[in-house]
Structure formats: structure tokens, C-alpha cells
Amino acid sequence: MADKRKDKAEETTKAGISRRKFLKGVGVGGGMLGSGVLSGSLLQDGHGAQAAATKVLGPGAVAIELNVNGKRWPLTLEPRVTLLEALRDHLELTGAKKVCDRASCGACTVILDGSPVYSCSVFAIEAQGKTIQTVESLADGDTLHPVQAAFVENDAQQCGFCTPGFVMATKALLDKYPNPTAEQMRLALGGNLCRCGTYVGIRQAVMQAAQNSPQNSHQNSKTRAPQAGRQSRAGGGHSNA
């Protein structure tokens, strides 16, 4: 069966790929749940040996594993599934919100290997092997995380749809700078939008959360974050992700 499919795919690439045939190819791939590799490629490779050295996955669903909130989740997903869709539609973690879905609003913010990212603009398949933290990881049972508690206490939301994204962007900020300057806070939340305009409450919440954060109970002035601006050291230790 696999051989037959391969022959078919090779014929297709020799003839060039029509849209119809391409879609057909997608359908074939879709039937191969969990097999990992589509036998026969959609593309004719110019440099056969080099290209063959890399596994080509999809376009059908492939087995992947995500490390979300400290747990490993096996999934079978097409490469085109975003991390946000994987979280919401496959893991039922609906804290991260799909709003603009275009890397602009921040409602889908999660923390990937320590850095805040727009999960709408990360593919699930490339998030394998990385640590993914969503807003669901913050509360300990009924006890809110200091960032969440500060958002509640400062009335830092109105409709609340942007809130999980702001909370995760804030957590990423405080993980990096437990005592952020006003400038650092402004820069750290610049990638999140609140259409209700609750920014004043949000800024108050961030400052309160900084004071209440567990890291801060034994902070002293020596560990204050540097000033933002040209000389700011905005981070470090990132992968190229």
C-alpha cells in the first residue's frame, strides 16, 4: 500500500503538481494518522541526497508530543495546526484566547521556553521539545497566582477576554525582572491590546504583583533590574525559536 502510494506521488511530481492533485495528496496524508512521514513528497527535490537527509513530515497528521504545564501530551496533528489551536481544540486548555489570530493582539500569549510568544503564530509541531506554560498553570487549586490576584484586586479587566494574555505577558516580565521599572513594564506589555482600555488597572496590577511575587520576598536592591532603554539587557538565554 505504501509503495503504491509512493509510486503515485512520484508520478505526480514528474508531471508537476496541479492544485487538484495537491489537495488529493493532502487527503491521502490525512488518512495516515500517526505514521509520521508521508511517503512520497509533494515536491521534487533538486538535491536529492541532501534533501533525503531530513525527514519531511505531513501534510497529513503526524504524531507529536507537547510539554504543557509540566505534562507531556501525545497528539496527532497536521503541521498547519498552531500551538493555540492545539491548546484550545485538542488539549481543552482554553485560557489562551483566539482574537486577532495574526500576531498582533496578545490574547493568545503563552510562555515558550521562558519567553512570551503569540501562540497563534507558532506551529504546534515546532513547539515540540520546548516548555510551554499557559495561564492554566498559574493558580494552585483555588489559590490564585500573585499576578492573577493583583489583576483581580486592581480591577484590571473589563470584559476579560485579553486578560489571560496580559497575565502571561506579566508573568514573563516578572520572571525576568522581579522589580521592573515603569519603562520595562511598558515595553513588556506593548504586545498586548485591551479594547476596553483597562491599562491603568493593568499597570497597577503589574506593580502590585511585582511587590507580592514570591521571588521578591528575598530580593534586595542589588538585584534590581537595570534601567530600560539603550543599555537595557532585555533578556538572554533565548534559543533561536
Partner 1 sequence: MQAFEYAAPSIKQQAVALLGNTWEDAAVFAGGTDLISSMKDNLLAPKRLVDIKGIKELGGIDFTPAAVRIGALVTLEQLLAHPRLGREYPGIIDAAAGVTSPQLRSRGTIAGDLCQRPRCWYYRAGFGLLAKDKDGKPLVPNGENRYHAILGNQGPAYFVNPSSLAPVLIAIGAKVRLYNGSSSRDVPLEQFFVTPKSDAERENVLKPNEIVTDIIIPAIPAGERLSATYEVRQKEALDWPLAAAAVALRMNGGRVQSARVVLGHVAPVPWGAPDAEKVLTGKRITADLAIEAGKESVHQANPLSKNAYKVQLARVAVKRALLRAAQGGA
User: Helix, strand, or coil here: 163?
Assistant: helix
Using an 8 Å Cβ cutoff, are 26 and 59 in contact?
yes
116 interacts with partner 1 by CB under 8 A: yes
* 8, 21, 41, 99: residue in contact with partner 1 (rule CB under 8 A): 41
129-158 positions binding partner 1, by CB under 8 A: none
Query: All 3 cell numbers of residue 102?
Result: 495574526
Residue span binding partner 1 (CB under 8 A) among the ranges 38-46, 88-96, 140-148, 153-161: 38-46
Quick count: other Cβ atoms within 10 Å of Cβ 70? 9
42-61 positions binding partner 1, by CB under 8 A: 42-51, 53-60
Instruction: Name which of 80 and 141 has its Cβ closer to partner 1.
Output: 80
182 interacts with partner 1 by CB under 8 A: no
User: Helix, strand, or coil here: 220?
Assistant: coil
| Cα(38)–Cα(60) distance, integer angstroms | 7
Task: Give bridge partners of residue 72 from the DSSP assignment.
Answer: 67
Using an 8 Å Cβ cutoff, are 80 and 59 in contact?
yes
Binding site for partner 1 (CB under 8 A): 17, 22, 26, 29, 38, 41-51, 53-60, 78-80, 82, 101-104, 106, 109, 112, 115-118, 120-123, 125-126, 169, 172-173, 186-193, 229-236, 238-241
